[in-house]
Structure 1
Amino acid sequence: MPPTRHGLAQVALFLALTANAAGQSFLLVVLAPLGRRLGFTDIQAGAILSASALLLMIAAPSWGYLTERIGRRPVLIVALAGAMLAPLTFGFIVGHRLDGAMSAALALGLFLAARSAQTLLSAGLLPASQAYVADITVPEARAGGMGILGAAYGLGAIIGSALAWRIGGSDAVLAFLIISGLAGLALASVTVLAPEPRRSNPGAASPAADLNLSRIWPFFAITLVSISAYSIVQQVVALRLQDAMGFASDDSIAKAGLALMATALAMIVVQGAVLRVLALKPEALLGAGAALATSALLFATFARDYTELFGALVLLGIALGLMLPGNLASLSLRTGPGAQGKAAGFNVVGQGLGLAIGPLTGAALHQFSPQMPFLAAAILLVVAFALAIGASRGGQAGFPISTTTI
């Protein structure tokens, strides 16, 4: 694939990840307060997200293996079809429930089923995207390539949070329709602009196609704890504003959406521009980001008003903008050329488990104190920092202890 096609393919991947992240972000922001209006308990709303995240853990590795067998492009197309159809279903359920045409129990069951189907179909999006970028970038440009993926997720988070801020509390059905339209646009872009990348011996078995778990497990673990922490925060921001700071339901959704939109914007600026200026090694980005994220979450824990909480979340966005691309690049560079899809698929297991742990943990801890979820998230980022330091030292030593492969 010539360089100009590489650029067009990256644009298509950017749109795909942006659309998917917009849907995820919107759902994380609005589901807890919207669920109360639909007749769901906080725990039930959290369970919808957690159950689908568990399915993500099951489906993502299979899709990762399939990217090595059938290619990146078919997996991307299936994933985006799921991302387009599910929001239409969500809008149908919400509209009928709010109109009184559907019981709370039926709405809960249908929402859970639709979310689960969406997860099973779209679980291959990130593994296929990461593997695609690894196929078309040289090692020294890998962190920048992964940063583009991170920036796409950041932009999607902004769009999802903006929808929550402006219309999530007043017209969730319209917001779901907009999200579906974005996914449809992304599907068309991938179909036209992203041909299958050239790979050497695709689908062939070789030592390079094995996963050396002793070299890459710390990055899986960092994915797990960092996504757990971030999903805890996303789940409870609106609840904290409502229960601890006195905002009404609709206003809490709007304020939470604005704060999380600013968080994602900070991530985009760092991933899209600052990373290229700093030109740091992936391990350095990872360690610095984890340390800064821990500090941000401690500030958020003790925030006394919306302004302080807003500032802490922006600082968290800056930190994640350093940390997440550093982690993905480190994982990719320590993975064989024939196992990029496998590694990305297993990494999504960490994301799925984090998305399963976060919402339920956040909802449960919020019952005891609105500050406790943020403190728990800070503790998780301390663990991420320790793992980053250990991974950096282990990389210098070559991880000689174990040679377990898959």
Structure 2
Amino acid sequence: MFRIRFSIFLSVFVAMVGLMIIAPVMPPLIRELGLNELHSGIIISLGSIAMAVMAPFWGRLSDRKGRKAVIVIGFLGMFVSYVLFTATMYAGLSQLIGGGLLVGLLIVARGLIGMFIPAVPSAAQAYMADVTDEKGRAAGMALIGAANGMGLVLGPAIAGAFALIGLIWPLYIGALLPIVAVGVVCFLIPAHKPVIQEKPPKVNPFQKGILLYLFAGLATMLSIVTLQVVGGFYFQDQLSLTTKETARMISLGLMITGVAMIITQGMQMKNPKWQPKSLILFGAVLIIIALSLFLFFINLIVYDVAFFLFGVGTGLMMPGFMAGASLAVSREQQGGVAGLVASVQGISAVIAPILSTGLYQLNKYLPFAVVALIVLLMGMTLLFVKSRTEVNENRIIDS
């Protein structure tokens, strides 16, 4: 069991690092290529759309072909995609190609990365559902949440370290990691029979039990992405910082958030008493408090406290909505629901940058205020609407 859990953790971690390692070097690389911010936005956004569209497909495929097979396919696809993306960047920097051909190849390569990355978390989450019972489901999903949190923190850190050698070096690492992960997965994860041999029953995202937890997932990821996207602008304006001071402040703040997420999910794995609804509701309260501190105070120490509370809150909500969605469906639908949960990340990555920056142009307080309102609405909905998952939670507690 340990080797399976370790392999699931490593798989999700590598996939998240593969997603995050591009972000810090994309702006300077785009400018080195002679392109502009619009090109960068298009390249990243189309990759996120590909993630949102393909995640449910990979989840359903894992039901039919097996979790291990889909994870391996995902990593091999990531490797090929990263090689193409890196080769295109190298050719552009060497002035071997340029113009529309360069932009087109970068869009295709980034789109392929977005297509294959969700194969890993979709199949990994479904695998975790396979190997945990209802009592341990939230703790199992906390392990996946911890892997996401570590990737969120270490992905940009790895990129920053290798960027000291050269801007393109993080892309080399992005291509290498999936191959290493394939070796680990093939060696450690045992052969796993498909859950069903025929076409799996479709998961309807609008059925009550699932929709509630997808809404919770969307609120969580919108909060995280919004903080990443507009946080630098907001804190620079609030504290009158220079660009270098802002970079240091936001880097430290996001690191505090990431560490808080990892600690929270580690505690949840060791002491899995809380069930999905409780995790989400308490996490939502902490996120709202953190956003309120951002909105109503102008103090660096208060902001660091808010970053920590934000990390604890998201660290509770991530395993909460993943476990809740898993418990809301049958065994034959675990891949399908895992794909829907993974697609939430892609959808958030498309919506949040556009929404948050647009709101920021209207008023700098609006992005955090709107996100807090969404989290509050989600919490109130979850509190007053009884779902199939809540019935399962009551049965777990009674047993």
Superposition deviation, residue 289 in structure 1: 0.4
- The question of 1:129 aligning with 2:124 is answered yes
- The question of 1:364 aligning with 2:349 is answered no
Question: Equivalent of 2:5, from 5, 10, 14?
Answer: 10
- The question of 1:54 aligning with 2:53 is answered no
| Residue correspondence of structure 1 range 37-116 to structure 2 within 5 A | 41-42=36-37, 44-95=39-90, 97=92, 103=98, 107-116=102-111
Question: Equivalent of 1:181, from 176, 180, 191?
Answer: 176
Given that 1:42 and 1:363 are in contact with CA atoms closer than 8 Å, whether structure 2 keeps it comes out as no
Superposition deviation, residue 123 in structure 1: 2.3
Q: Deviations over 1:319-372 (max 9, x none)?
A: 111111011111111210111001111222322211210122233334445543
The answer for the alignment partner of 1:384 in structure 2 is 378
Report the residue type matching 2:185 in the other structure.
V
Report % sequence identity: 26
Q: Give the Cα separation in 1 of the matches to 2:24 and 2:179.
A: 22
Q: Deviations over 1:59-108 (max 9, x none)?
A: 11111111111111111011112333444444445555556665475554
Given that 2:220 and 2:317 are in contact with CA atoms closer than 8 Å, whether structure 1 keeps it comes out as no
| Count of residue pairs the alignment pairs up | 389
Q: Give the Cα separation in 2 of the matches to 1:388 and 1:360.
A: 27
TM-score by length of 2: 0.85
SS in 2 for 1:22: helix
Superposition deviation, residue 42 in structure 1: 4.6
Superposition deviation, residue 190 in structure 1: 0.8
Distance 1:193 1:158, change over 3 A: same
Superposition deviation, residue 32 in structure 1: 5.2
Distance 1:295 1:287, change over 3 A: same
The answer for the alignment partner of 1:247 in structure 2 is 242
Distance 1:204 1:392, change over 3 A: same
The answer for the alignment partner of 1:197 in structure 2 is 192
Q: Give the Cα separation in 2 of the matches to 1:274 and 1:122.
A: 26
Report the residue type matching 2:270 in the other structure.
R
Q: Deviations over 1:107-161 (max 9, x none)?
A: 5433322111111122221221111111111211111111101111111111113
The answer for the alignment partner of 1:3 in structure 2 is none
Superposition deviation, residue 30 in structure 1: 5.0
SS in 1 for 2:311: helix
| Residue correspondence of structure 1 range 331-346 to structure 2 within 5 A | 331-346=325-340
Q: Give the Cα separation in 2 of the matches to 1:168 and 1:20.
A: 20
Given that 1:161 and 1:261 are in contact with CA atoms closer than 8 Å, whether structure 2 keeps it comes out as no
Distance 1:174 1:309, change over 3 A: farther
Q: Give the Cα separation in 1 of the matches to 2:213 and 2:289.
A: 21
Q: Give the Cα separation in 1 of the matches to 2:26 and 2:297.
A: 23
- The question of 1:146 aligning with 2:135 is answered no
Q: Mean Cα displacement is larger for which, 271-280 or 71-80?
A: 271-280
The answer for the alignment partner of 1:329 in structure 2 is 323
Superposition deviation, residue 397 in structure 1: 7.0
Q: Give the Cα separation in 1 of the matches to 2:233 and 2:315.
A: 25
Q: Deviations over 1:186-210 (max 9, x none)?
A: 12111111123356x622478xx56
The answer for the alignment partner of 2:396 in structure 1 is none
Q: Give the Cα separation in 1 of the matches to 2:272 and 2:236.
A: 39
Report the residue type matching 2:47 in the other structure.
S
The answer for the alignment partner of 2:156 in structure 1 is 161
The answer for the alignment partner of 1:19 in structure 2 is 14
Pairwise CA RMSD:
3.1
Which runs of 5 or more structure 2 residues have no equivalent in the other structure?
A: 393-399
The answer for the alignment partner of 2:395 in structure 1 is none
Q: Deviations over 1:242-261 (max 9, x none)?
A: 67644337x65555333323
Distance 1:380 1:95, change over 3 A: farther
Q: Give the Cα separation in 1 of the matches to 2:306 and 2:31.
A: 27
Given that 1:158 and 1:262 are in contact with CA atoms closer than 8 Å, whether structure 2 keeps it comes out as no
Question: Equivalent of 2:341, from 336, 347, 351?
Answer: 347
The answer for the alignment partner of 1:218 in structure 2 is 212
